Chain A
Amino acid sequence: MDQLQAVYVRALQTIADAGGIEGDELRPIACPFDPAVPADRLGLAMIAAALHERQRRGYVVEWNAPQRGAFSAIAFPEGVRTSAAIASYGDQFPLLRIERAHADRDATITAYAERIAVHVSETARQPIAYVLTELVANIWDHAETETGIVLAGVGGGHFVLIVVDAGISIPFTYARRDIAFPDDTAAVRAALTGRSARPQGGRGYGIRTSAAIATRGWGGALLLASRHAMVLQTVDGETVRDTAPLHWNGTIVVIEAPLPLRAIDLYAYVEG
């Protein structure tokens, strides 16, 4: 879990060193991360999202890495977008680029969840599908962006699941609805408790339930980061970090859990 924090901050710094997402002094983004290391996949997902955001804004997509072969093996940074493309990557978990406008996006997400279940734990099929679909649904509901990045990984006895968007951040989403917090950390912690930015009832459960599954259920951790805040939640409590002046305009969710994933009853966690 310390490794996840370190990767998160290193990725923010790497992107900042390259000039960020837009501006007159953009440089190729370096990729100091190893696809074979599960925690490093967080850095890769963030850099892929940053590159896609640069491209969306009309900039040239440039990146560099010592050896590119390992990166193309997981479809970095372009990402795969269909169920068929996922299946073509053998035993690998490729980087998934999901787009709001894609007609089969729900089926593609389900196919990715299915691949995870097959390779990680058949008994965890339902909760894996639940957390992945709920975290991605938050992108469409709140982030006001057209693209999301998903990347899973296993190694060293651990499983990671990463969902990244470069849309509007959690603190900004609340602020737009006149929900004020003293700082970004308070806003991110509110999201973890299930406080929705929407006025309707019955919302806000996605992250809270996913965190419960990751921590109480699987004995792992959930990292939630947005703008200047990063909160790492485990069954033992929270670690909070303000990363200012570094920031991520968007939201990042990472679930890390020890393997084998514990068999849990999903409906013991789903809230009414």
Chain B
Amino acid sequence: MSKGDAICIRLGVRGSSLAARDSVREILRDAEGDAPILLDATGLTFISRTAAAELLDAVRRWRAAGRIVEWRYVGDDIAQMFRAVDPSVNIEG
């Protein structure tokens, strides 16, 4: 995915933790449209189950709609919570 045509969403934009559903919805506000999405977890060290579920729901909707979604710099703790919420989640690449 080239940087130029993707929407980059910085999951750590509000700090090192992401806890509530409305926090996730606010961060994803700029993801409207059809462009590919790059989810950048730089600096994110904690995500609650609630926030992880909200984020993964969004990823499922985007992929079901045919959008390309990729991840970047997902730390081990974050990845572990994602997999606890959805063992089938693909966060590679």
Contact = CB atoms under 8 A, between A and B. Distances in A.
A140 B22 contact: yes
Interface string A117-157: 00000000010011001101100110000000000000000
Contacts of A272: 84-87
A183 interface: no
Contacts of A237: none
A205 interface: yes
Interface string B65-91: 000000000000100110011110000
Contacts of B1: none
A22 interface: no
A106 B14 contact: yes
B48 A133 contact: yes
Main secondary structure of the interface of B (DSSP, over half): helix
Contacts of B80: 267
A103 B21 contact: no
Nearest to B22: A140
A206 interface: yes
Interface residues of A, number: 26
Contact of A137 (B15, B50, B84): B50
Given A107-B17, A140-B20, A140-B22, A134 B49 contact: yes
By DSSP majority rule, is chain A's interface helix, strand, loop, or mixed? Answer: helix
Interface string A164-183: 00000000000000000000
Interface string B39-82: 00000001011110100010000000000000000000100110
B14 A110 contact: no
Contacts of B18: 106
A202 interface: yes
A109 B19 CA distance: 9
Nearest to A209: B49
A106 B49 contact: no
A270 B16 contact: no
Contacts of A271: 84
A109 B14 CA distance: 13
A140 B19 CA distance: 11
Given A202-B57, A271-B84, 18 more contacts: A103-B14, A105-B20, A106-B17, A106-B23, A107-B16, A107-B17, A126-B77, A130-B48, A133-B19, A134-B49, A137-B51, A140-B21, A141-B20, A141-B21, A203-B53, A267-B84, A270-B49, A272-B86
Interface of A: 100, 103-107, 109-110, 126, 129-130, 133-134, 136-137, 140-141, 202-203, 205-206, 209, 267, 270-272
Interface of B: 14-23, 46, 48-51, 53, 57, 77, 80-81, 84-87
13 contacts: A100-B22, A104-B15, A107-B17, A110-B17, A129-B17, A133-B51, A136-B20, A137-B21, A137-B48, A141-B50, A205-B49, A206-B50, A272-B84
User: Sorted from nearest, which 9 A-B pairs have the closest CB atoms?
Assistant: A107-B15, A110-B17, A133-B19, A133-B48, A270-B84, A106-B19, A137-B20, A137-B50, A140-B20
